[in-house]
Amino acid sequence: MNERIWTIVRDAFPQLIEKFFTMTVPLTVLSFALALVISVLTAVIQYARVRGLSWLCRGYIWIIRCTPLLVQLYLVYYGLPSLGIVLDAFPTAVLVFGINEGAYMAETMRGALEAVPSGQLEAGYCTGLSYPAIMRHVILPQAFRTAFPGLSNSLISMVKGTSLASVITVTEMFRQAVVINGRVYESLALYTEVALIYLLFCSLLTLLQRWGEKKLNAYGGVR
């Protein structure tokens, strides 16, 4: 690495880190929160076998899982304006990422709910608990413990996936690197720097995931 490349990498680092914490992280947190809400509601509806709504949930999962995320971003950001629906880039990214990841996480949660022994539900009824109370205090805590590794993987995947928001003009870390590269033309150095930042942060999340799994296993998952 010659002096020029080192200077470019050094000067770019503060800009990349700033965009990471001011755009990439908020985008990930908001999208994951939306995805978590969608996934839990979708999984609970399927678990309860609510007639009509269950088919609607399955249709949502089928459509989202069978279409590319990039196409979904373009469809919402560039397609909806033709219908008079115009959304800013950042809310569009949050909405699309949340809906997209929610479909995958819903399957994770559904599998976790179905892994809880059916006797837990019956035992809850025997103690006089209502169905919502059983779900809140008995079924869901156990399901979350089972689903935790899969949900954590979804979070890590979403951190990396937010780079796709650059295609709809969201200036997150990767787009900032593209902007800088447009001035200095050092693609290898800059994109390697971006990759290392993603690697570092996702490695930290992986360590937190393992710590969380140990805590949940020790806790037992039931209140």
164-208: pLDDT as tens digits: 999 999 999 999 999 999 999 999 999 999 999 999 999 999 999
d(C-alpha 199, C-alpha 86), whole Å: 34
pLDDT band at 221 (very low <50, low <70, confident <90, very high): very low
**What are the percentages of helix, strand and coil residues in the chain, rounded to 5?**
85, 0, 15
pLDDT of residue 151: 95
Query: Could you tell me which CATH number the domain at 3-219 has?
Result: 1.10.3720.10
**Residue-level pLDDT at 1:** 63
pLDDT of residue 223: 42
Per-residue pLDDT of 95-141, as tens digits, reads: 999 999 999 999 999 999 999 887 888 888 888 888 888 888 888 98
Q: What is the pLDDT of residue 213?
A: 87
Q: Is residue 115 within 8 Å of 146, Cβ to Cβ?
A: yes
pLDDT at 132: 85
> Could you report the per-residue pLDDT of 37-62, keeping only the tens digit for each?
999 999 999 998 888 899 999 999 99
The pair of three-digit structure tokens given for residue 111, joined into one six-digit string: 């599998």
Q: What are phi and psi of 99, to 5 degrees?
A: -65, -40
Return the amino acid letter for 213. E
Domain boundaries, the chain: 3-219
Per-residue tokens: 193: 């720097």
Q: What percent of the chain has pLDDT over 70?
A: 97
Q: What is the Cα–Cα distance from 193 to 187, expressed in whole angstroms?
A: 10
pLDDT of residue 86 exceeding 90, the answer is yes
Going by pLDDT thresholds of 50, 70 and 90, the confidence category of residue 220 is low
pLDDT surpassing 90 at residue 30:
yes
Alpha-carbon dihedral sign for residues 116, 122, 124, 130: positive
- Chain center to CA of 211: 19
